[in-house]
Structure 1
Amino acid sequence: MNSRSKIAALAAGTAMIAMQTAPAVAEGTSAGTTITNTATVDYRVGGVDQTEIVASDSFDVDRKVNFVIARVSDPTTTVVPGQTNAVIAFDITNLSNATIDLGLVVNQSGSDDFDADNVAIYLDDGNGTFDGTETAITFLDEIPEDQTVRVLVVANIALTHTNGEVASLVLSGTAGEGGAAGSQGAVITSTAGANTAGVETVLADGAGADDGTNDGVFGAGGSYTVSAATLDVTKTSRVISDPVNNTANPKAIPGATIEYCVTVGNAAGSATATNVTITDPLPGDLTFDAVFGIRINGTSDGSGNCNADGVTGGSFSAGSVTATLDDIPGNDERTVYFRATIN
């Protein structure tokens, strides 16, 4: 016989039980909420209504601590050598049923290509980009239940890094006690032993990028991937003509015309090189051929000589040839060629 049947039998009449419970919120009932459950028994004896009997039970909801950190948008942040303030954005959501603090730290991988420089964490000011107005932080203060906060990991990339290199990192959070605005709360630990009448703590976080389950720690990974131009430059010369042999097997004798060819190539898979400028001072033993001029943005024949497909461009001033080339995508090249006479 169940308890309801027992009450009815003891009362020697009919019985009705009514129960009330507190409503739940999105991440569960808030920690510390007192839930009271009341049973009311109405009955009759000899057809006469008797005084109802009431029994109640109360308990406090324990604290469930859980949060997640998620990399925003792209799986990696593309950077160029020498870039400053490169950003990886993360969203941090408090899934606990209580307000908590979160200590934050960035751990860089020891098995990638390089470490980013001057890494810092900033609280996003609402526009989703780093513009220098954000506040640098080491912890998130008083995060309410169900709230999501965006933070920005900001770093510099040294000029020495090459195309395709990757710097991997993990933004890791550790749950701390809330309740003291303006200061970082102590690390939250799980309550050991059997359940008691007080408010106890259960760590309910999942496994992050470099942590386990139910440890009050969660991390999410991000990375910087270098997109760089991989340029190489070659310079060759050939004798076009001389005053004795003309163009038939000419030699580099005084009065001979020399053609210089400068080829700039960009390796396959590399980022496009822009604003490529070549400066080439002419030795004093040569006289620039102003009639021929300077030809740019041509191609080479594969053996170091320039094909005759360049267009007029560049300038000669103060004894130097200067030429700015068109953008050079990966797996492409541009040339500059000009002529001079041996004095």
Structure 2
Amino acid sequence: MKTVIQRGGLFLRLGMTAAALLLGQHAFAAGTTAGTVVSNQATVAYAVAGNGQTPILSTAAGSAPGTFDPTTFVVDNRVDFSLVTVDTALQTTGLGQANVPTRFTLTNEGNLVQDFRLDPANLPDTTADPFGGAQDDNIDMAALTAYVDDGDGVWEPASDVATYVDELAPDASVTIWVAATGPAAGITGDVAVVDLDATVREGGVANAEGGPVTDDIGVADDPDTVQVVFADGAGPGPGDGVETALSGYQVATAALEVRKDVTVISDPFNGTTNPKAIPGAIVEFSVQVTNNGTQAATGVVVTDAIDALVTFLPDAYGAGQDVRYDIDGGADQFCDATDGTATDCDLAGTSLTVGGSTLSLDVNPSETLTVSFRVEIPAS
């Protein structure tokens, strides 16, 4: 672009050089790329006593005929970026469960390629659920680590291994995962609130985390140097080169549902055809333990206080087979509760216990453990 101004016999011509004319090719959301050189020069044409003189080109320090030194400055670095959580609710974790991810998006809204350091952390107890739940933070996650997605948007511990953002271009975004291990102890509904800090770092060198970036807010403008202006918003403070976003986890352990059914097996008059619960009848109790949670229930122990009005029936399923049990309708297993030994299948008085250290009963998510035994209604 050129502008010509005439004042009497004086002509003033202002010109923008090619560097400035190309600015539109480097425009991003935050404007022209940092480091772009803007060059400008004025031309003065004049006459003396009607005789045209040699035009004079401007310089930054003042000029005379024959000098050709334009006035230039470089575009400074506007550091601006955003960090948001992609999660819309607390992420479910089991006790001791490893590599449970929360998801964030980091976007470079500045005008220069930048690196970013990533720092996840547990927040203090009583921190409110960032998604509005009633339960505040009351536990901590373990092994919190931030990882950069490899580009497919899927959490993959084997391939999402970068721990800092490398060479993020203006207007580009990247997915970040904060992976953690569930607490060793806790109950269903416990909450851990976590945050992720992203701190701007120097870009320009691939495969190496850049050094700290310093805001030049207190330094006078230098037209020949790319200076830094922190323009970021939310975070520990506005304009500090740090952005923060929150997410969290909620514990979901085994959730057991217990049901007890009764079935009349036989009676003295009808046998096994439509038997009734009359004196002398054999009745079977079945205790069903269903795991509706997300983690296995281990070391399950079923204890049943048998009513004194009925009598426990030994060998109900065969010799030494007092109790029958199975997992999800699998193969029947049996144990002897009346052999006189205090084992993990034992009848002590009217209390029947099934399960323990030597009879390990584990119920995985969606599985059902069924424990059955039979009693007799005394005939007299």
- TM-score bucket of the superposed structures, by smaller chain: 0.5 to 0.7
Match of 1:299 in 2: none
1:339 is aligned to: 374
1:228/1:54 CA distance change after superposition, 3 Å: same
Q: 1:201 to 1:327 in 2, by over 3 A?
A: closer
**Amino acid in the other structure paired with 2:221:** N
Distance 2:192 2:365 in 1: 31
Cα deviation, residue 87, structure 1: 1.1
Q: Percent identity?
A: 32
1:315 paired with 2:341, answer: no
Summarize the Cα distance change of 1:323–1:220 in structure 2 as closer, same or farther, 3 Å threshold.
closer
Task: Name 2:104's counterpart in structure 1.
Answer: 90
2:34, 2:234 → 1: CA distance?
23
Sort the Cα spacing of 1:73 and 1:44 in 2 relative to 1 into closer, same or farther, 3 A.
Answer: farther
Deviations 1:188-230 (A, max 9, x none): 121123212322211111113xx11100111111111233443
Q: 1:98 to 1:164 in 2, by over 3 A?
A: same
- In the alignment, which residue of structure 1 is the partner of 2:221? 195
- TM superposition shift of 1:66: 1.8
149, 163, 170: which one aligns with 1:124: 149
The alignment partner of 1:8 has SS state of strand
Contact kept in structure 2, 1:13 and 1:45, CA below 8 Å: no
Partners of 1:99 and 1:325 lie apart in 2 by: 49
Instruction: Provide the C-alpha distance between the structure 2 equivalents of 1:34 and 1:326, rounded to a whole number of angstroms.
Output: 64
Question: How do 1:107-146 residues align onto structure 2 when only pairs under 5 Å count?
Answer: 107-111=121-125, 112-134=137-159, 136-146=161-171
After TM superposition, give the deviation of residue 81 of structure 1 in Å: 3.6
Residue matched to 1:309: none
Residue 304 (structure 1) aligns with: none
- Counterpart contact for 1:166–1:226, Cα < 8 Å: yes
CA drift at 1:184: 3.1
Give deviations 1:11-45, integer Å, cap 9, x for gaps: 52565544453414213222222111233456778
Work out the number of aligned pairs and report it.
307
The answer (yes or no) to whether the contact 2:117–2:165 under 8 Å persists in 1 is: yes
Show the counterpart of 1:34.
Answer: 37
1:66-92 CA-to-partner distances (Å, cap 9, x unmatched) read 222222253432333443211112222
CA RMSD in angstroms comes to: 4.8
TM-superposed CA distance for 1:157, in Å, is 1.3
In structure 2, runs of 5+ residues without a counterpart are 59-69, 126-136, 269-275, 307-311, 337-344, 346-353, 355-360
For residues 224-303 of structure 1, the aligned pairs below 5 Å read 224-231=249-256, 233=258, 260=285, 262=287, 264=289, 271=293, 286-290=313-317
- Indicate yes or no: 2:187 matched with 1:162: yes
Q: Distance in 2 between matches of 1:115 and 1:57?
A: 58
Q: Give 1:279 shift.
A: 7.3
Letter in 1 for 2:179: V
Counterpart position of 1:63: 77
- Paired with 2:202 and 2:335, the residues of 1 have a C-alpha distance of 70
Q: Structure 2 vs 1, CA of residues 341 and 323 (structure 1 numbering), >3 Å: closer, same or farther?
A: farther
* Contact 2:85/2:104 (8 A) holds in 1: yes
Measured against aligned partners, the alpha-carbon deviations of 1:86-134 in whole angstroms (never above 9, x if no partner) come to 1112222222322222221111111212111222222322332333322
The code of the aligned residue for 1:149 comes to V
User: Partner amino acid for 1:317?
Assistant: F
Query: Which moved further from structure 2: 94-103 or 14-23?
Result: 14-23
8 Å CA contact 1:101–1:185 kept in 2: the answer is yes
| Closer, same or farther: CA 92–234 of 1 in aligned 2, 3 Å | same
CA offsets, 1:222-267, max 9 Å, x none?
1112334433658899x99999xx967x7xxxx895754536488x
CA distance in 1, matches of 2:363, 2:226: 72
* Separation in structure 2 between the aligned mates of residue 335 and residue 204 of structure 1, nearest angstrom: 64
Distance 1:314 1:324 in 2: 15
Task: Describe the shift of the 1:295–1:84 C-alpha distance in structure 2 as closer, same or farther (beyond 3 A).
Answer: closer
Change (3 A) 1:96 1:14: closer
Provide the secondary structure at the position in 2 that maps to 1:88: strand
Q: Is the 8 A contact 1:294 1:314 kept in 2?
A: no
Distance 1:45 1:225 in 2: 86
Rounded to whole Å, the distance in 2 between the matches of 1:118 and 1:288 is 52
TM (norm. structure 1) is 0.68
The alpha-carbon distance between structure 1 residues 13 and 177, as it changes in their structure 2 partners (threshold 3 A), is closer
Corresponding letter in the other structure for 1:29: T
Structure 1 match to 2:341 = none
Residue of structure 1 in register with 2:91 after alignment: 77
Q: Does structure 2 retain, via aligned residues, the 8 Å contact 1:85–1:130?
A: no
